[in-house]
Structures are given as structure tokens and as C-alpha cells.
Structure 1
Amino acid sequence: MLIVHDSRRWQRFTISAVAFIVLMLMVKFNAAVGTTIDAVFQSLFTSQRLENAGWFHALMSLLTFLGKPVLDIVWVLIIAIVMWLRRYKIPAVWAVCTILGGDVLGTLIKHFVKRVRPAQHLAADDGYSFPSGHVLGFFLVAGILFLIVIPIIQKASVRTICQLLLIFAVFFLAVSRVYLYAHWPADTIGAMLLAYAWLQVAEWLYVMWAPKLQQVGFLSDSAI
């Protein structure tokens, strides 16, 4: 199986979920520590905006465009189609359910916290701020690639390069959201914690249900 039983999965879930809940409550109730850390890190990423370095601003804008929640779903659908055609049907279904479930969870939390965006945000960045939908969705895309796509690449060196590229992409996407004043730093950190916790649940569901789904007629020839 691409995703196997891991006795430490629930430990990782507990740590990331507790960290997320603590951060969410700090944001929800405007804890002084949280707002101070946000202000410090926002200043770090926006005080030197490299306005004269057009390439950097263009890079940040490109990353934030490629990480749009709608495009995150598109990327996963493309992954799912490719996996389905390669007879990884159950992993393909799992990938789509994982991104959709994460998006729903993120939306519910946004409406619970109701955090406003930084005052300088662009008009295109509407809605609530915590957690970042861009970072949440793209983290899940990266997680899906890590779990069901990269493992089937034969060359170890290529797998390593792909993993490093995904890590850097998630990091710089998070930076771009703060740089463009679309989010506070805590919004991006919270999105990564939430995505990681949700991935632990999604992995557990895969391990539990993938063998059972092989008994379904049109999924019986699927690799898992």
C-alpha cells in the first residue's frame, strides 16, 4: 500500500491539532502574545518589500496565483486523473476527498474565527483571514504528492528533488501571502498545522478503507 499503518500517526495528529487549536483560540480572542508575534513577523516580511526588485514581486504574485484554492482543486483533479489512468483508482478517489474535506474544514473554521485581513490587503483577497485558504489547499496538494505520487517514482534522487521542491513551494507560498498583505503570519502557520492534522486523519481513513474499497466492482483492479 502507498499509505501504510503507522502507530505514531495519532501522536502526530494530537500534537498538530492541539497546536492549531491553541493558535486558533489566541487569534479568535486577540491574545496579546499572538498579535505581537503577528506584528513582528509581518514587519519582517513586508518592511523590505524589494519594490525595486520586480522579479521578486512577480514571483510572489505568481506563487499566490498558482496556490489559489480553486487551482488547488484543479491540481488535485489532474493528479487524480493521472493516477486513475495508471490504475491507482482508490488513491485517486482518496486525493479528491482529501482536498475537498480540507477545504470544507478550513471554510468552517474561517467562519468560526472571523478574523479580518490586514488593512493593506488587495480587494481581490476577500473573506476572512484565518486560516489561509491558499496555504491550506496547497499544503494538501503537496501532501497528496508526497503520499501517493512521489512513492511510485523509481529513482530515489528524483524523489528527493521533488520532495525538496514541494517543501520550498509551500514555504514561499506562505511568505507570499504575508508579503502581499493577504494574511497575517499566524494565518499561514495555522493553515499548515490544520492541513497536517487533517492529512493524519485522511491517511488513517485510507489505511482503514482502501482494502475494503477493492471489493467494489469498478475499483477491484485498483492498486492501493
Structure 2
Amino acid sequence: MFIERDDHRWWRFALSGGFFLALMLLIMFNSSVLTMIDAVLQSLFTSQRLEDIGWFHALMSLLSFLAKPVLDLVWVFIIAGVLWLKGYRIPALWSLGTIFGGDVLGTIIKHIVKRVRPAQHLAADDGYSFPSGHTLGFFLVVAILFLIVIPLIQKASVRTILQILLIFAVFFLAVSRVYLYAHWPFDTIGAMLLAYAWLQVAEWLYVAWAPRLQRIPFFRSVEI
């Protein structure tokens, strides 16, 4: 089974969800301390010194493009399609449900908080700022790869290298959203907290329902 029963899952959900809720409330009530920290952190990633490094700007722009919410859905559709063709039908459905559920949750919270983006943001980055949709969606794509795809790779060294690269990709994607003035730093931190909390729920649903779905002939998988 790709995702096993874990009695500590709800503790992780409570911690990540609690931190996210606290952060969301601080933003909604315009905490001056949080705003100041946001401004200081943003200045570290948007200084003229960094903008003068051509390859760094290109890397940040590329990462931000590849992690667009629409492309996150495309990546997961591709992953799910390959899994389905390989006989992993329930993991494929779970992957789609995880990314869709996370995106819907993030969109709802954006419209509840209604945080304004940094003044220097690009015209293409419209809508509200908290939480970062790019970061939330990409975090879930990486989580799906970690839980469902990478375990299928036979070579342990390749699995380890891919895991390290994906962790760095999430970190630099979050940096890119701040660097490009698309989000405040806490928008990306909040997105990761929300994504992790939602992932705990999605994993719990998988453990609870995958064995039941496997009894249905149409959803029968070679492995759950």
C-alpha cells in the first residue's frame, strides 16, 4: 500500500492547520509585526544585487511558469494518466482528487482573506495574494510524486536524488514567487502549511477508502 495507516497523522494535521489558521488570522487583522517581517524578508529576495544576476532571474521566472496552477493540474493529469495505464487506478484517482481539493480549498481561502499582492507585482499575477496558489499546487504535485511515483522506482540512489531535487524545487519555487513580487513571504509559507494540512486529510481518505474501492472491479488496481 502506497500510503499506510499512521496514528500521528492527525497530530501533523493539527499542528500545520493550527499554524496556518494563526497566520491567516494575523493577516486578516493586519498584524503590524507580521507585515514588518514580510517586508524585511521580501527585501532580502528582491534586492538590486539579485536582480542583476541574469541566470538567477531566468531560473526564478522559469520555476514560476512551470508551477502555474493550470500547469500543476496538467502535471497531475499526466501523472494520473500514466498511473492508470500502468494499472494503478486508485492512486491515479487519489492524485487527481488531492490536487483538485487543494486548489479549491486555496481559492476559497483567498476570497476569505482577500490579501492584496505587493504593489510591484506583474499584471499577469492578478487576484488575491494569500495563500500562494503556485506554491500550494506545486507542493501537492511534489507530494504526489513522493508518495505514489518515486516508490515505484527500483534504484534507491535514484529515489534519493529525486527526493532531494524535489525538495529544493519547492523551496526555490516559493522564493521565486517572492522574488517576482507576486506574493509576500508569508503567502508562500501559509501555502505550504495549508498544503501539508490538506495532504494529511487526503492521506487519511486514501487509507480509509482505497481498500473498499479495490473491491469494485472497475477500480481494481495492481497495488494500492
In the superposition, the TM-score normalised over structure 1's length comes to 0.98
Contact 1:49 1:179 in 2 (8 A): no
Q: CA deviation at 1:55?
A: 1.1
- What residue in structure 1 maps to residue 67 of structure 2? 67
Residues 197-223 of structure 1, C-alpha deviation per residue, up to 9 Å, x if partnerless? Answer: 000000000000000001222112442
Which letter does structure 1 place at the counterpart of 2:95?
A
Letter in structure 2 aligned against 1:204: W
- The code of the aligned residue for 1:30 comes to N
Please tell me whether residue 144 in structure 1 is matched to residue 144 in structure 2: yes
For each residue in 1:178-207, what CA deviation from the matched residue of structure 2 results, as whole angstroms up to 9, or x when unmatched? Answer: 000000000000000000000000000000
- 1:154 match: 154
How far, CA to CA, are the matches of 2:219 and 2:116 in structure 1?
44
Aligned to 1:122: 122
Match of 1:201 in 2: 201
Contact 2:103 2:137 in 1 (8 A): yes
In structure 1, stretches of 5+ residues that fail to align are none
How far does residue 126 in structure 1 lie from its aligned partner after superposition? 0.2
CA distance in 2, matches of 1:109, 1:221: 34
Task: Check 1:7–1:93 CA distance in 2 against 1; reply closer, same or farther (3 A cut).
Answer: same
Aligned AA (2:133): G
Q: Which runs of 5+ in 2 are unaligned?
A: none
Distance 1:49 1:86, change over 3 A: farther
Partner of 1:100: 100
Instruction: Report the residue type matching 1:54 in the other structure.
Output: G
The alpha-carbon deviation at position 76 of structure 1 amounts to 0.3
- Structure 1 CA distance for aligned equivalents of residues 92 and 222 of structure 2: 10
Instruction: Provide the rounded CA distance (Å) in 1 between the counterparts of 2:51 and 2:190.
Output: 28
In structure 1, C-alpha distance between the alignment counterparts of 2:31 and 2:52, rounded to whole Å: 36
* 2:25 alignment counterpart: 25
Match of 1:131, SS?
coil
Q: TM-score, normalised by structure 2?
A: 0.98
Which residue of structure 2 lines up, in the alignment, with residue 110 of structure 1?
110
Q: Specify whether residues 221 and 185 from structure 1 end up closer, same or farther in structure 2 by C-alpha distance, changes over 3 A only.
A: closer
Map of 2:42 onto structure 1: 42
CA–CA distance in structure 2, aligned partners of residues 137 and 208 of structure 1: 24
1:76 aligns with 2:111: no
Greater than 2 Å deviation, 4+ residue runs: 48-52
RMSD: 0.9
Distance 1:68 1:76 in 2: 12
Structure 1 residues 114 and 44 mapped into 2: Cα distance closer, same or farther (>3 Å)?
A: same
2:12 maps to 1:12? yes
Percent identical pairs in the alignment equals 75
For residue 189 of structure 1, what is the amino acid of its counterpart? I
Matched to 1:108, the amino acid is I
